[in-house]
Amino acid sequence: MLSASRAYVTGESHYSKGQKDASRHLITYLYTKNPNQWKLYLEELKIPQGDGTARITLLKAGDNKIARKGLLIGRNHEEDLDDIIWLFDNFKQVSYLSKAIEEWGKGDKLIFQLFVIGQEINAKINHKLLTLEDQKRYLKEISTISDQLTINQRNFSNILGEGTRKIKDLLIFTNIFFILIIICSVCLYYSIMVKRLLISKKEIEVKNENLVIVNRELDRFVYSASHDLRSPITSLKGLIEITALEDDVNQVRNYLQMMHQSLARQDQFISDIIDYSKNKRKEVIMEPVSLKELFNEAILQLMHIENANRIKFTQEIQIDQIESDSLRLKIIINNLISNAIKYADCSKQEMFITIKTYFSEGLNKIEVEDNGIGIHDEHKENIFDMYFGTNKNKGSGLGLYIVKEAVENIKGDISVFSESSIGSKFIVTIPNPHAV
């Protein structure tokens, strides 16, 4: 825009010079009647006339060959034509440029008057009708037009200069505005990146802490697992050696029963390790699950446990189908029912396990209640710890630990209510994704 404004100012200087030179040659021709002066007059007058043709054409038809040719006749540089036409086409309604074009139009009218005077002078000279009075009159008219053109050209330049200064100020403010936007954007980006780095650092620290805990837990797990896996084998080897030396059939049967119990514990421990591994590795998959089917399957699979056939199982299923992770629910239900069977109180005449499901406060709930041996108060805080067991002969110490992790994986919660010699109740709360 500044380049186009500069081109207009340069064009105006050519316009002004052409008009003044044309006026000078016409006055000289008026008094000398020299044909060369007439030719020079016509040549110089073409400059403002060419600009005038370009102005009229741009107003009516826009950018075309006639307008460009007119501007070239007006001695505008060819490389400035695109800028001149672009500014004219796009900003002719803008106040400063519209005023300049108006002054340009007034100048073109004066140029036409100068042309008419020139034609009259040339006609009278050619017909030898020019008088002294005519010379004085024409001289006065030419001078008047030249003075008016000077004022007109000065107004044109002043208007363009004022417009250019306004544009310059506007561009400065625009540049400052965009620089501020860029600075603010960089600061915002820097702030976001710093925030992300801090968050990332905290996440890494948390992950490192978790890794330390996991490694510590893994070391403990490997040590305990190797001990618990070797212990039944050592026991079996000892029992086999004793049995080989025993002749009493009843005692041999007793030893075989002890071997069976040792193998059963090892089988349970391996089963717990498999559950532990599945719970750690597999992703949570939300899908429709039948709780009733899981309970029936668990009870059927656990009936081989000692005294399981003496226990009365009761199911109060208010909710059957829920949406959750079937693998974790299976692990939770199997372990809770298995524990209730293992820690049943055989001294009681009637042993029972009651299983309930219901919907409360927008949540699905599972209850497993028994009248077993219960949990001592001093053990309640530790029952969900790895390898914690009140009776190592009955369990691996992994069951409730795995249950706790499985519940957390499905975003649930588990609570326990127990009294020693009375029984225990475990309540598992499972989120309902469709609850409002």
Confidence grade of residue 351 (pLDDT, cut at 50, 70, 90): very high
**Nearest partner of 415 among 375, 387, 362, 371, judged by Cα:** 375
Alpha-helix runs per DSSP H in 74-131: 81-91, 95-126
* CA angle at 264 for the pair 260 and 268, rounded to the nearest 5°: 175
Q: Range with the lowest mean pLDDT among 17-21, 73-77, 279-283, 358-362? A: 279-283
Task: Write down the pLDDT at residue 189.
Answer: 87
Question: Is residue 331 within 8 Å of 409, Cβ to Cβ?
Answer: no
Residue owning tokens 């709360």? 429
Give Cα 300 distance to the centre of its chain. 52
Residue 183 has pLDDT above 50, yes or no: yes
Task: Write down the pLDDT at residue 136.
Answer: 95
Residue owning tokens 């915002």? 188
Domains present along the chain, CATH in parentheses: 2-183 (no CATH), 285-431 (3.30.565.10)
Residue 226 has pLDDT above 70, yes or no: no
Task: Write down the pLDDT at residue 143.
Answer: 94
Percent of the chain at pLDDT > 70 equals: 86
Task: Write down the pLDDT at residue 269.
Answer: 57
Task: Write down the pLDDT at residue 227.
Answer: 47
Task: Report which of residues 98 and 163 the model is more confident about.
Answer: 98
Q: Range with the lowest mean pLDDT among 13-17, 92-96, 156-160, 251-255? A: 251-255
| pLDDT tens readout for residues 370-416 | 999 998 888 888 888 876 654 545 555 677 888 898 899 899 999 99
Residue 52 has pLDDT above 60, yes or no: yes
**Nearest partner of 294 among 366, 370, 353, 371, judged by Cα:** 366
Task: Write down the pLDDT at residue 397.
Answer: 66
> Which DSSP helix (H) or strand (E) runs through 360?
strand 351-360
Prediction pTM value: 0.46
Query: What would the two tokens of residue 363 be?
Result: 């949540």
Task: Report which of residues 208 and 211 the model is more confident about.
Answer: 208
The DSSP symbol for 341 reads H
Confidence grade of residue 433 (pLDDT, cut at 50, 70, 90): confident
**Mean pLDDT, rounded, of the chain:** 85
Task: Write down the pLDDT at residue 394.
Answer: 53
Residue 231 has pLDDT above 70, yes or no: no
Percent of the chain at pLDDT > 90 equals: 45
Residue 135 has pLDDT above 50, yes or no: yes
- For 81-105, what is the mean pLDDT? 88
| pLDDT tens readout for residues 233-289 | 766 777 787 887 777 878 878 878 777 766 766 665 566 566 566 666 678 888 899
Q: Range with the lowest mean pLDDT among 149-158, 182-191, 202-211? A: 202-211
Euclidean distance between CA atoms 193 and 185, whole angstroms? 12
Q: Range with the lowest mean pLDDT among 213-222, 224-233, 335-344? A: 224-233
Task: Write down the pLDDT at residue 436.
Answer: 42
Radius of gyration (C-alpha) of the chain in whole angstroms: 53
